[in-house]
Amino acid sequence: MTATLAASTEDAPPAPEVKRRGRGRSGQRTRTFYLFVGPWIAGFVLLTLFPLGYAFWMSLTNTDGLSPNWSYVGFENYVRVFQDTQTIESLGRTGIFMLATVPTGVAAGLAMAVLLNRDFRGRTLFRALFYLPAVVPGVAAALTFKIIFDKNAGAANAAVGAVGGEPISWLADPYTRFVLILMILWGVGGSMIISLAALQDVPRELLEAAKVDGASPAYSFFKITLPILSPIIFFQVVTGVIGSLQVFVPSLLLAPVNGPAAVTAVPEGNYFFMVHVYAEYFAKSHFGYASALLWVLFAFVLLITGIVFKLGNRSVFYGGVDPTEKEGS
Amino acid sequence: MSKSLGSALTRRTLMRGGAAAGATALGAGALSACAPSAGGGGGGGKTTLTIMAPENEFAPEFLKSIEEELDVKIKRVEVDTTKLTAMLASGTAPDLVRGLGAVETSFYVARDLALPLDDYFAKSDLLKEDDLDPVNDVWRYDGTVQGQGPRYGMAKDYSQDAMFWYNAALFESAGVDLPSETEPVTFDQWLDMGKELTKKDGDTTSVYGLSAGGLGLFISLVNMTASAGGSLFSEDLASVDFSSPEAQQALTWYLDYARSRVGFSPVEPNPDGWDWPPYQTGRLAMSWSGYWFGGAIAAEAELAETSRLAPAPTMGGERLSACFGATGYWIPKASKNPDEAWALFEHFMGGDPAKERAAGGWGMPSLLSLREDLPTGTVAQEQALAVQEAEADYFKVLTFSPYVKVEAVDAVLNEFLPDAINGDATAGSLADALNPEINALLEEGKELVK
């Protein structure tokens, strides 16, 4: 028995073996990790990093994408970005559009979600109806809005006329920007459905306890519901900001010219930064300059997103940790 | 640091994917449609041809029949200059491309992107040199002059786009005399007619008198300037001058037109995007469209009874009647299947499809032998053909610059016109704004192709 024991002690695996086994599990985990993230990394490299790098390289040239005689121009295109009034104006316009649509869209979505989270008859029907516009294809939505806001035969001017107003040329400057904002907000059901899902996760016992303690519904909403929803709201703000800075297709769809040539006829009010980039790329064939514009936009989006995150850190409530306490600890 | 032509291929290889990178970063998704290779070899050894063409010219049933006839597979992608640019730049050029010969030929040839087709034409049984309508010369370019040199494409049909259609019933209800079928009206008379035909209720317009958008703003101004006896382009096509008396006459007229709001313009947008819907529904009395518009009119029996074609208006110079488009097809030099692409081209331009197009009345056939197939079944068709035939004596091709795309110039015009129309800009101040902007584009383009 002793011999057996001794033998078994002698046979026992030395300590490094244990370590090797440990490394083996870790290596397996590492392999599994890379197996899972590998497709994403490949996609990221091929579809994001490579295009970004290529766009950067093009931004240092005056290429039109087709002609053989392009030249390196260094950072000339980047200097031009800050001298081009159309660029500056379209960037400013895009910023204003972002400020007009993101807070309004998130707030409207939340308000609708709160309303539709209550118990009442026909709630499911209303939820479906409110969400429906969000699934209507953008082209169909744009056509509908063009018909509604047609100067001569549209419902909008019929309403204006009914209250004694003169018909408005909604699809031309300076009104077309309002039509576009309305069209974007028409799809607020997307935001609503996210907020509605988040509302389901608000613990009822917290709200009931607050009620027992005499808290008003408004107080409960602002002190309990809203903090719990804050990560979801923050998510919507971040994605909304990024999306609105890249707004492009709706402007083309509302333009008075159909098809790819629409970019040449987008009214000034809807001439956003990405529309400008597209026009520089494909109407004016300024591939080099347009690539520089994209890099500037990339930097701008990073900057704005960074600011939003900085602000969000102070007001987003993550899993029971008060953000102010977290900062102080 | 400009490069020489000698290493162009290397650089072009380097540039491949440039459009892909740009468009991907842009998020336009345009390239997704470019992904399928234009090369042969797909589907059981058959050559696959990629064509950039609209569905109404290559409908699925029609494609199927051609596939059987030519023993090829055909993949159709929608016509889109953005997509075409991306495909050409990324080395996945289509095999056959629809284009506007009048304004695109020199642009693509100057960049060495189009395949010369003279050898193919020389061997063709269907497309004989002496049967080609002179309009096909817009698809020729010798590096300096459009209309000379090798053929790079051919019109599928054409119209003298400076002519206009009118609805006689709307003239009658407005008490306006019908325009002559043989003598052109002046642009000023035309605008006056437009004003008389426009029906307004306060600021709401129920009938627009005249739509002068043509096939695009810039090309319309080129036509008006030519009609006044001048030229918007310099002789070497490397600059424009909106300050010349003829160009000023054209700009002044356009500002008057747009300010009078008798038709569509950047400040009076057409929600339908083109003239047919308002014309079809009796909301437009005159449309600046050529013979091809009759193809749409013929399908509306009532409208066909009252629609008439009129000669191109004149600005006072030598009488001319321009073709702005000469829409047709060309084969990119980078096509991997040029022989098969030519077979399709030849069949489409000279075979049964060409006969069917001629009989449809959607344009004058580009082969002289097909003229007898043009439709004369309705009053409108008969009248239109007679006016068109008389107008042929004044046919003129307007040369376009190889240094810039027409979309680029239209974009500049749209940048300045709304404020000019809404404000009190004169044609002179507008010219001062347009000249440097457009000339800068032309100069940049010239640098890239010299």
Q: Return the residue of A nearest to B404 by Cα.
A: A284
Residue-range domain boundaries for chain B:
37-158+325-397, 164-319+403-449
Identity of the residue in A62, A70, A265 whose CB atom sits nearest the CB atom of B11: A70
**Residues B448 and A70: beta-carbon distance below 8 Å:** yes
Closest CA to B170 of B367, B38, B306: B306
Q: What Cα–Cα distance (Å) separates residue B331 from each residue in A42, B52, B67, B97, B334?
A: 36, 10, 18, 6, 8
Distance from C-alpha of B49 to C-alpha of B43, rounded to nearest angstrom: 11
Chain B residues with beta carbon closer than 8 angstroms to that of A279: 411
**Contact: B410, A63; criterion CB under 8 Å:** no
Q: What Cα–Cα distance (Å) separates residue A75 from each residue in A49, A62, A80, B20, B123?
A: 20, 11, 9, 22, 51
**Residues B220 and B161: beta-carbon distance below 8 Å:** no
> Tokens for A189?
């059901």
**Best mutation target, A70, A85, A86, A179, to test chain B (most B CBs within 10 A):** A70
**Residues A191 and A106: beta-carbon distance below 8 Å:** yes
Between helices A189-199 and A123-135, what is the axis angle to 10°? 140
Chain A residues with beta carbon closer than 8 angstroms to that of B85: 65-66, 282, 285
User: CB neighbours (10 Å) of residue A309?
Assistant: 12
CA dihedral sign of residues B253, B259, B263, B268: positive
- Angle made by CA atoms A202, A205, A208, in degrees to the nearest 5: 105
Percent of chain A with pLDDT over 70: 89
Q: How far is B370 from chain A (nearest CA, A)?
A: 31
Q: How far is B286 from chain A (nearest CA, A)?
A: 18
Burial (CB count within 10 angstroms: exposed 0-12, middle 13-18, buried 19+), residue A136: middle
* pLDDT > 90? residue B113: yes
Q: What Cα–Cα distance (Å) separates residue B364 from each residue in A309, B6, B46, B183, B297?
A: 63, 43, 35, 21, 15
User: Does the CB of A252 have a partner CB in chain B at under 8 Å?
Assistant: no
Tell me the pLDDT of chain A averaged across its residues: 86
Q: Hey, which of B196-205, B244-253, B260-269 has the most confident mean pLDDT?
A: B244-253
pLDDT tens-digit map of A215-242: 898 999 998 899 889 889 999 999 999 9
Identity of the residue in B21, B271, B405 whose CB atom sits nearest the CB atom of A285: B405
Which pLDDT score, from 0 to 100, does residue A2 have? 39
Q: What does residue A258 show for φ and ψ, rounded to 5 degrees?
A: -85, 160
Higher-pLDDT residue of A65, B331: B331
**Residues B233 and B223: beta-carbon distance below 8 Å:** no
Distance from C-alpha of A108 to C-alpha of A240, rounded to nearest angstrom: 13
Q: How confident is the model at residue A1 (pLDDT cuts 50, 70, 90)?
A: very low
Contacts 24+ apart (CB under 8 A), B13-17: B13/B91, B15/A63, B15/A65, B15/A70, B15/B89, B16/B89, B16/B90, B16/B91, B17/A54, B17/B89, B17/B90, B17/B91
**Contact: B3, A71; criterion CB under 8 Å:** yes
Distance from C-alpha of B69 to C-alpha of B48, rounded to nearest angstrom: 14
* CATH class of this structure's domain A76-322: mainly alpha
Chain B residues with beta carbon closer than 8 angstroms to that of A144: none
User: Does the CB of A264 have a partner CB in chain B at under 8 Å?
Assistant: yes
pLDDT tens-digit map of A127-147: 999 999 888 888 899 989 999
Contact map slice: A 12-51 vs B, CB within 8 A: 47, 50-51
Chain A residues with beta carbon closer than 8 angstroms to that of B444: 62, 286
Asked if the bond preceding A68 is cis, omega within 30° of 0, the reply is no
Can you say how many angstroms the Cα of residue A10 is from the centroid of all Cα atoms in its chain?
63
Task: Determine the average pLDDT of the residues in B66-85.
Answer: 90
Residue-range domain boundaries for chain A:
9-50, 76-322
Tell me the pLDDT of chain B averaged across its residues: 87
Which pLDDT score, from 0 to 100, does residue A12 have? 52
Contact map slice: A 147-166 vs B, CB within 8 A: 147, 149-152, 157, 161, 166
**Contact: B445, A256; criterion CB under 8 Å:** no
Chain B residues with beta carbon closer than 8 angstroms to that of A287: 18-19, 22, 89
**Contact: A294, B80; criterion CB under 8 Å:** no
Any residues with CB less than 8 A from the CB of B203 and at least 6 apart, and which? A166, A167
Q: Which of A8-17, B259-268, B381-390 has the lowest mean pLDDT?
A: A8-17
Per DSSP bridges, beta strands B73-77 and B48-52 are parallel
User: CB neighbours (10 Å) of residue A30?
Assistant: 11
Does the domain at B164-319+403-449 match CATH 3.40.190.10? Answer given as yes
pLDDT tens-digit map of A155-213: 999 999 889 888 898 988 889 999 999 999 988 999 999 999 999 888 888 889 998 99
Q: How far is B147 from chain A (nearest CA, A)?
A: 22
**Contact: A55, B17; criterion CB under 8 Å:** no
Q: What does residue B406 show for φ and ψ, rounded to 5 degrees?
A: -65, -30
**Contact: B418, A172; criterion CB under 8 Å:** yes
- Provide the number of CB pairs (under 8 Å) joining chain A to chain B: 184
Determine the topology of domain B37-158+325-397 in CATH. D-Maltodextrin-Binding Protein; domain 2 (3.40.190)
Model's pTM, two decimal places? 0.79
Closest CA to A155 of A145, A163, A140, A141: A145
ipTM of the assembly? 0.76
pLDDT tens-digit map of B198-233: 998 877 899 999 999 877 899 999 999 999 999 999
User: Does the CB of A283 have a partner CB in chain B at under 8 Å?
Assistant: yes
**Residues B197 and B174: beta-carbon distance below 8 Å:** yes
Which pLDDT score, from 0 to 100, does residue A118 have? 87
Judge if B37-158+325-397 and B164-319+403-449 fold alike in CATH terms.
yes
> Tokens for A272?
């956003």
Element (H, E) at B397: strand B395-397
